[in-house]
Amino acid sequence: MVSEQKTVDVSFDSLLRIFTVPEGPDSTLTQIEEKLSQNLNQFLREHIVAEEKPLRHIEQDFSDSIIPEQPEFVSDHTQHLLDTLVSQSVHTSAPSFIGHMTSALPYFLMPLSKIMIALNQNLVKIETSKAFTPLERQVLGMLHRLIYSENDEFYSRWMHSANHSLGAFCSGGTIANITALWVARNNALKPDGDFNGVEKEGLFKAMKHYGYEGLAILVSERGHYSLKKAADVLGIGQEGLVPVKTDTNNRICPVALQEKIQELKAQKIKPFAVIGVAGTTETGNIDPLEAMAKVCELEACHFHVDAAWGGATLMSNNYRHLLAGIELADSVTIDAHKQLYIPMGAGMVLFKNPDAMASIEHHAQYILRKGSKDLGSHTLEGSRSGMAMLVYASMHIISRPGYELLIDQSIEKAKFFASLIEKQSDFELVSQPELCLLTYRYIPKSVRAALAKATPEKAQLLNELLNELTKFIQKRQRETGKSFVSRTRLNPEKWHKLNTLVFRVVLANPLTTNDILTKVLDEQRDIAKQAPNLMASIKHLSDEILAS
């Protein structure tokens, strides 16, 4: 707010100043920035509130739809941002924030980000990015090599080739997955005789030309929700995203995959892509990629691996075997903003074959001219920032062995937490961690015994009550603000596939200690006591089942 004494000038000269004169060393903004540079963690601890303010109250601060007619001083507005926005944002870098894949960031990325933003390059073309273009191509090359381990000759031939692309840097995994499926679709429905390809003539004519009745993308039941979006956008339809059953460890069954493919083919439905998941979002499991690759080769399907989250595991020589077979994929999605510890907005898709992206190549008169090395000719997005610089810097400053340590400690921490949960009489581990993600729930010992003994009807009833309890604990814990776990719904084999709400934990933050994890369980146990009626109902029903 601007007081009457203190109105801001809106002359052109004052506007020029905001483009030429930085904030003074005493300004609120400069001071905040300095505090943030000196001790980010403390700044965040001080400025992000612990207690939950109901969203509808926060919304009141963001309710004016009129663009202000009166300018504000930078310092005044910064204070306003601190009071209303920063104070009510989520402390994603807190060591006790273990509910999602967003984690702490290395310090050096803050000033480097500022440099990146100040340079304001646009990666769509060389004319507005220059050295950033070869840098981004190198980053894609590094990730490509991490996955496919081609030799020096391969990379010196393709990495900077004008008419090829080893992949695309994107805003995130969803765009990366869409890009992979777009390429797969266009290659499956490519030009043939009189037909100019789906990219030119569209899906309807393509289907008629090839004589297909439908298109299908196959993925395990645990595939990411964004794949439905992808199927919708690409004109396949959500029903064309065919779920394949998983084993008790949430991994796709290769036999079921092949059967499903043949079943689709018999119906004249073209299964043009199969997606392996390496790490599922909800349980963190990895599909049997080698077996899937074999099926894909046999059935001539594009094999895409969604390793948005788990791909970083390739950095660890101790654990990269978990993703064995990924090198057989035609394309792979990796999000650097997940376990490569880069700020939000750094997705990538890599293609095994440097020619693969030709099917989506595009040109324009004023940019992306043929033969240019403009990155924009192979990306779904147009204008893009120089985020690749942050990946490049992290690769050099942290290095592969550094990432290895980060990955290893996160997996080992998850193993610790799993064994800790298993030692508790009143918690149940629902999914074992394969990487650093696990799920569990609060369920007292006697209730567990009752659930095992119950008739299907009673089991369902009891399970519903437990779901209510899980939801209550998760919400109350989030609202209390000391720690955060997320929740999701699974269908554990053990409980006869009953709809089961579980806590979901991702242990990516290197600052999360074993002690913090112990306290998370203590807190949840305490919160359970804050629902005496619900607890009484659970106990009552359990006793009844056990007595019968």
**Residue list 44-83, contact with a copy of itself (CB under 8 A):** 44, 55, 58-59, 61-74, 77-78, 80-81
Place of tokens 């008629």: 208
Instruction: Give the shortest CB-186-to-a copy of itself separation in angstroms.
Output: 8
What track of x and - describes contact with a copy of itself for positions 332 through 361 (by CB under 8 A)? ---x-x-----xxx--------------x-
Nearest to 271 by CA among 290, 258, 288: 258
CB 217 within 8 A of CB 228: no
What track of x and - describes contact with a copy of itself for positions 280 through 309 (by CB under 8 A)? -xx---------------------------
Q: Which is nearer to a copy of itself, 471 or 496 (CB)?
A: 471
Q: Which of 184, 322, 395, 407 binds a copy of itself (CB under 8 A)?
A: 395
Task: Measure the CA–CA gap between 421 and 436, rounded to whole angstroms.
Answer: 14
State whether residue 428 is helix, strand or coil.
strand
Contact region with a copy of itself (CB under 8 A), list: 87-95, 253-261, 326-334, 444-452: 87-95
CA 112 to chain centroid, in Å, comes to: 23
Q: Could you say whether residue 152 binds a copy of itself (CB under 8 A)?
A: yes
Q: Which of 245, 363, 497, 540 binds a copy of itself (CB under 8 A)?
A: 363
State whether residue 351 is helix, strand or coil.
strand
Looking at 340-442, which runs of residues are DSSP E strands?
A: 347-351, 427-431, 437-442
Question: Both tokens of residue 521?
Answer: 């369980």
Q: Which is nearer to a copy of itself, 288 or 306 (CB)?
A: 306
Q: Could you say whether residue 26 binds a copy of itself (CB under 8 A)?
A: no
Instruction: Give the shortest CB-184-to-a copy of itself separation in angstroms.
Output: 13
Q: Could you say whether residue 451 binds a copy of itself (CB under 8 A)?
A: no
Contact region with a copy of itself (CB under 8 A), list: 375-383, 417-425, 429-437, 452-460: 375-383
Q: Which of 111, 370, 496, 544 binds a copy of itself (CB under 8 A)?
A: 111
Q: Which is nearer to a copy of itself, 295 or 390 (CB)?
A: 390
State whether residue 146 is helix, strand or coil.
helix
Helix or strand (DSSP H, E) at 361: none
Q: Which is nearer to a copy of itself, 90 or 534 (CB)?
A: 90
Q: Which of 122, 432, 480, 537 binds a copy of itself (CB under 8 A)?
A: 122
* Strand-pair partners of 302: 273
Q: Which of 235, 243, 468, 479 binds a copy of itself (CB under 8 A)?
A: 235
Q: Residue 49 CB: number of other CB atoms within 10 A?
A: 13
**Strand ranges of the sheet holding 437-442, from the earlier edge strand across to the other edge:** 427-431, 437-442, 500-506, 486-490
Question: Both tokens of residue 57?
Answer: 């109250």
Helix or strand (DSSP H, E) at 500: strand 500-506
Task: Measure the CA–CA gap between 323 and 304, rounded to whole angstroms.
Answer: 13
Q: Which of 385, 463, 470, 500 binds a copy of itself (CB under 8 A)?
A: 385
Q: Could you say whether residue 213 binds a copy of itself (CB under 8 A)?
A: yes
b/e map 396-408, b = 16+ CB within 10 Å: eebeeeebbebbb
Q: Which of 298, 324, 370, 401 binds a copy of itself (CB under 8 A)?
A: 401
* Strand-pair partners of 218: 242, 274
Nearest to 462 by CA among 476, 473, 475, 448: 448
Q: Which of 6, 7, 10, 536 binds a copy of itself (CB under 8 A)?
A: 10
CA 358 to chain centroid, in Å, comes to: 27
Task: Measure the CA–CA gap between 442 and 60, rounded to whole angstroms.
Answer: 36
Instruction: Give the shortest CB-508-to-a copy of itself separation in angstroms.
Output: 11
Q: Could you say whether residue 272 binds a copy of itself (CB under 8 A)?
A: no
Q: Which of 389, 430, 436, 466 binds a copy of itself (CB under 8 A)?
A: 389
| Longest distance between any two alpha carbons in the chain, whole Å | 85
- Give first-to-last CA distance, the chain, whole Å: 68
For residue 203, the one-letter residue type is L
Instruction: Give the shortest CB-491-to-a copy of itself separation in angstroms.
Output: 11
Q: Which of 6, 7, 45, 156 binds a copy of itself (CB under 8 A)?
A: 156
Instruction: Give the shortest CB-200-to-a copy of itself separation in angstroms.
Output: 5
Q: Could you say whether residue 398 binds a copy of itself (CB under 8 A)?
A: yes
Number of residues that bind a copy of itself (CB under 8 A): 180
Q: Could you say whether residue 515 binds a copy of itself (CB under 8 A)?
A: no
